Amino acid sequence: MTPFTFTTVKTVISESGSSARLGEIAAGLGITRALIVTDPGIVQCGLLEPALASLAKAGIPVTIYSDVVADPPEAKVLDSLQMARDAGIDGVIGLGGGSSMDVAKVIALLTKSAQTLPEVYGVGNAKGTRLPLIQVPTTAGTGSEVTPIAIITTGETTKTGIVSPLLYADVALLDADLTLGLPPAVTAATGIDAMVHAIEAYTSKIRKNPYSDVLAREALRLLAANLVTVVEDGRNREARQAVLFGAMLAGQAFANAPVAAVHALAYPLGGHYHISHGLSNSLVLPAVLRFNLPAAAPLYAELMTVLEPEAEGTEEELAVAFVAAMTEQIAAVKLPVRLRDLNVPEADLPMLARDALLQQRLLVNNPREVSEADALAIYREVY
């Protein structure tokens, strides 16, 4: 067996209604003054109430930072960091989507650190320790609750990552009750995002390993079996919990076997046109899968048997069927499939291809080498 190392969060709690136990969980980590990092929509929907009631019952004062936006810019991160320092907090709770959880990671890391935000950008640059950190996802997609990665917008169209084992949370708490009100379009996009995480982890060129493979396969099975259900019936609590758990498994997989070309081509779409991360991934997924077929057919064939255990055919036939099945999955959850439908100018495609090639930390993981011409051809295919 190929040697490998696998790392993840210490504790996972997967239980509908478990956010009502947040005070007990925080106290168990020694938190006495908590900062909750979230976004305005979470506050307006009342999703904080069970958590706040539980923390109050445990006697833990709470400061709330609720100004997180998608693709959080440096200015917002620095604002939240200053709030945390001013409040004297000793523990952080990320409650929201991937952006809120990413910001929570940075606050937990830097609140009492001598390092500045620019000093921790990159892989392995964060030093020292962090505050106790609990992550509570309210979408089933990013897997940020179990990854050691935070993505920050550093310019008008550029993003930079912080990658460090210090960003792994102490507790990931999966409560389907917090996802029951998600709109169908958000449910669909985040669900496809999670499926991309599973697929790219399973085919990751450099750090693919037996542990991440098991998680990726089970993640894909759970997501494929339940995503259409939760898009069509958002109040189905059992299916919501299954999708939330599947997204977390995919997060654990790609935290150890990193993602590749789908994400590399998706990032410029988010940076330039503010297309959501999940939808950006969904837009380019089928074309990237087709591009990768010559190199990844054996693995795609294996994943086809996850989607349909009774599927039969040659390796090539099963691989082609997998690409078709994922294309059909996107259609089934009614996501847009053309860049032109999202007002992306055709004249911008060469610029997008150039930007995608800057994501070498992702492209090195792709099963097939991607040139700028390849990236441009993929964008044109989905235009």
pLDDT of res. 267 = 92
CATH number for the domain spanning 257: value is 1.20.1090.10
Is residue 211 domain-shared with residue 129, that is, in the same domain? no
Residues 35, 107 contacting (CB under 8 angstroms)? yes
> For 139-157, what is each residue's pLDDT tens digit?
999 999 999 999 999 988 7
Q: Are residues 268 and 234 in the same domain?
A: yes
Separation between Cα atoms, residue 297 and residue 315, nearest integer Å: 7
Last residue of a domain, which of 156, 179, 202? 179
CATH number at 46 reads 3.40.50.1970
For residue 129, give the nearest of 103, 161, 164 by alpha carbon: 164
Instruction: Dump pLDDT digits (tens) for 237-270.
Output: 999 999 999 999 999 999 999 999 999 999 999 9
User: Are 62 and 175 members of one domain?
Assistant: yes
Pair (142, 233) in one structural domain: no
User: What confidence tier does 158 reach under pLDDT thresholds 50, 70, 90?
Assistant: confident
**Are 86 and 211 part of one and the same domain?**
no
The answer to whether residue 76 is domain-embedded is yes
Count of the separate structural domains present in the chain: 2
In this prediction, residue 199 carries a pLDDT of: 98
Contact status, residue 112 vs residue 81, Cβ threshold 8 Å: no
- Whether the CA torsion 190, 195, 198, 202 is positive or negative: it is negative
d(CA 109, CA 93): 12
- Residue 197 and residue 286 in one domain: yes
Answer yes or no: do 166 and 314 share one domain: no
Is 117 contained in some domain? yes
Task: Note the pLDDT tens digit of each residue in 12-71.
Answer: 999 999 999 999 999 999 999 999 999 999 999 999 999 999 999 999 999 999 999 988
Read off the pLDDT of residues 67-98 as tens digits, 9 standing for 90 and up. 999 889 999 999 999 999 999 999 999 999 99
Cα separation of 251 and 263, whole Å? 14
Residue 2: pLDDT band by 50, 70, 90 thresholds? Answer: confident
Confirm whether 4 is domain-assigned.
Answer: no
Note if the pTM is more than 0.75.
yes
Residue where a domain stops, chosen among 179, 196, 211: 179
Same domain, 76 and 192: no
How much is the pLDDT for 159? 82
* Domain endpoint, select from 179, 197, 224: 179
Same domain, yes or no, for 41 and 154?
Answer: yes
pLDDT band at 1 (very low <50, low <70, confident <90, very high): confident
pLDDT at 317: 98
Q: What is the pLDDT of residues 177-192, one digit of tens each?
A: 999 999 999 999 999 9
Co-location of 283 and 357 in the same domain: yes
In a domain, 6, yes or no: no
Let me know if residue 236 belongs to a domain: yes
Residue 207 lies in a domain: yes
Give residue 15's pLDDT.
Answer: 96
**Domain housing 275:** 184-381
Taking CB atoms within 8 Å and a gap of at least 24, the contacts of 25-30 are: 25/134, 25/171, 25/173, 26/55, 26/58, 26/60, 26/91, 26/93, 26/132, 26/134, 27/58, 27/59, 27/60, 29/91, 29/132, 29/134, 29/170, 29/171, 30/90, 30/91, 30/132
Per-residue pLDDT, 113: 93
In a domain, 239, yes or no: yes
Q: Are both 107 and 36 inside the same structural domain?
A: yes
Same-domain status, 136 and 53: yes
With respect to residue 2, please indicate whether it lies within any of the assigned structural domains.
no
In this prediction, what percent of the chain has a pLDDT beyond 90?
95
pLDDT at position 157: 76
Could you tell me the sign of the dihedral formed by the alpha carbons of 194, 199, 200, 201, in that order? positive
**Comparison of pLDDT for 228 and 181, the residue scoring more:** 228
